[in-house]
Amino acid sequence: MNKEHQEKLADLLQKFQEGTATNAEIEQLANFYVNHQGSEEWPHDLHLKGQVKEKIFSKIESKFKKNQRDTGKVIPLFQRRIFKYAVAASIAILIAIPIFLINKAKIKNSPNQEVTNIQSGTDKATLTLGDGSEILLEKGKTFQANNLRSNGKQLVYNAHENEEDRTKITYNYLSIPRGGQFFVKLEDGTQVWLNSESKLKFPTKFIDGQKRVVELIYGEAYFDVSSSTHHKGSRFKVVAKGQDIEVLGTEFNIRSYKNQDSNYTTLIEGEVNVGNNNSIVKISPGQQSVVNKNGIGSISVWDVDVRYEIAWKNGLFMFHKESLESILETLSRWYDLEVVFKTEEKKREVFSGMLKRTSTVTELLNNIEKTGDVKFIIENGRITVK
């Protein structure tokens, strides 16, 4: 990092602490910190990264506390430990509406309720090979065969050097259970993050010059696609029920759970074509397409805040004015819980908040309970909403 950049960073940090930084300057500061988490380029004369972190979080906390004094209607859900992944989103939004808060009526004391600490999900998956054999992938277990290997947290396919081997294509399946997540790097270099209750079908190798095709059978996946320029122009195609997504090289998220009637594709970078039986539309970064799984009807496209769409990939829960039913549905997949509502009315309660995915489910539920409007009982893997 040159001296000019160091001076710019020092200026941004000072403006942020003084409260004079513009929205664009706050975004620059946040992005710089996140992009230099492990970098040796960090200018240590500007203080240690940990000290910078504390200064930024203190500013965020003071903003939240001020909102509480002014309105008496909020409960912060964020945890100080989430900084590494959430700082960019947190800083960028703190100067706008406080969306990392529960917006409800006057806060009441937290109910005296002791519930079982149900732990968060973890890295685990089942790999089904071409011969039908199944391999359990999880922390602490390694696996290696042919051109693939796993350290229990990720699965990596290496390119075949033998040209004869490259022509023999078989398909593998990676199934993620409730309470799980996993990362796979495909043979072409494409990276895929899979959320809970998801299943991906993909070839063990790709042939340059031919279209690269994978299928998201169900669930949610974030794709960082290896550019077609590295594969003799081969386009990359994701098939999901009712839609096809074709790209040259880009980053996007697909949500296509079994209980959803539509597929949601959110573009982060680049450009993609989304098609069904009736039409094809091109979406741009920051846009989301909605396609009926039956392949009928038109394709809807609208602008979204991508931070909420891909929060799961960055280790966070982020909810903005979502119904309690939708929030608990998301939590149930990650914590592998059943949810039961005693009344239909409670399903429509609306909350906003943010929490690290490694937190216990009770941390989030206890904060929601502080509104006094909802009570949770957790027993035998079931959340009962009263």
Can you give the pLDDT at residue 52? 58
pLDDT of 262 strictly over 60 = yes
As given in the structure block, the two tokens for residue 44 are 């240590």
What are the distances in angstroms from CA 86 to CA 57, 78, 275, 326?
11, 9, 33, 22
- How do residues 98-107 score in pLDDT, each as one tens digit? 333 333 333 3
**Mean pLDDT, residues 46-69:** 52
Q: Which amino acid is at 167?
A: T
As given in the structure block, the two tokens for residue 378 are 């957790």
**DSSP per-residue string spanning 228-279:** GGGTTT--EEEEETTEEEEESS-EEEEEE-TT-SEEEEEEEES-EEEE-SS-
Q: Which amino acid is at 170?
A: T
CATH of region 122-308, choose from 1.10.3720.10, 2.60.120.1440, 2.40.37.10, 3.40.50.10260: 2.60.120.1440
Give CA–CA dist 325/348, Å, rounded.
7
As given in the structure block, the two tokens for residue 362 are 């009770």
Q: Do the Cβ atoms of 283 and 272 come closer than 8 Å?
A: yes
Which range, of 110-114, 164-168, 333-337, averages the lowest pLDDT? 110-114
Burial 269-288 (b: 16+ CB within 10 A, else e): eeebbbbbeeeebebeeebb
Reported pTM? 0.72
Q: Tally the residues of the chain.
A: 386
Can you give the pLDDT at residue 338? 95
45: helix, coil or strand?
A: helix
Burial 333-350 (b: 16+ CB within 10 A, else e): bbbbbebeeeeeebeebe
Burial 170-195 (b: 16+ CB within 10 A, else e): eebbbbbbebbbbbbbbbbbbbbbbb
Confidence of residue 318 (pLDDT cuts 50, 70, 90): confident
Can you give the pLDDT at residue 248? 82
Residues in CB range of 114: below 8 A, 6 or more apart: none
Give CA–CA dist 116/120, Å, rounded.
12
**Mean pLDDT, residues 333-342:** 95
**Mean pLDDT, residues 255-269:** 94
pLDDT of 229 strictly over 80 = yes
Q: Do the Cβ atoms of 383 and 377 come closer than 8 Å?
A: yes
Facing residues of 135 across strands? Answer: 127
- How do residues 60-79 score in pLDDT, each as one tens digit? 545 444 544 443 333 344 33
Residues in CB range of 48: below 8 A, 6 or more apart: none
Give CA–CA dist 266/253, Å, rounded.
5
Q: Note the helical H segments in the chain.
A: 3-18, 23-35, 49-71, 83-94, 163-166, 306-309, 324-335, 344-347, 361-369
Query: Is pLDDT larger for residue 155 or for residue 278?
Result: 155
Give CA–CA dist 136/159, Å, rounded.
23
**Mean pLDDT, residues 294-315:** 89
Q: Do the Cβ atoms of 203 and 170 come closer than 8 Å?
A: yes
Can you give the pLDDT at residue 355? 81
Q: What residue ranges do the domains of the chain occupy?
A: 3-103, 122-308
Give CA–CA dist 288/267, Å, rounded.
6
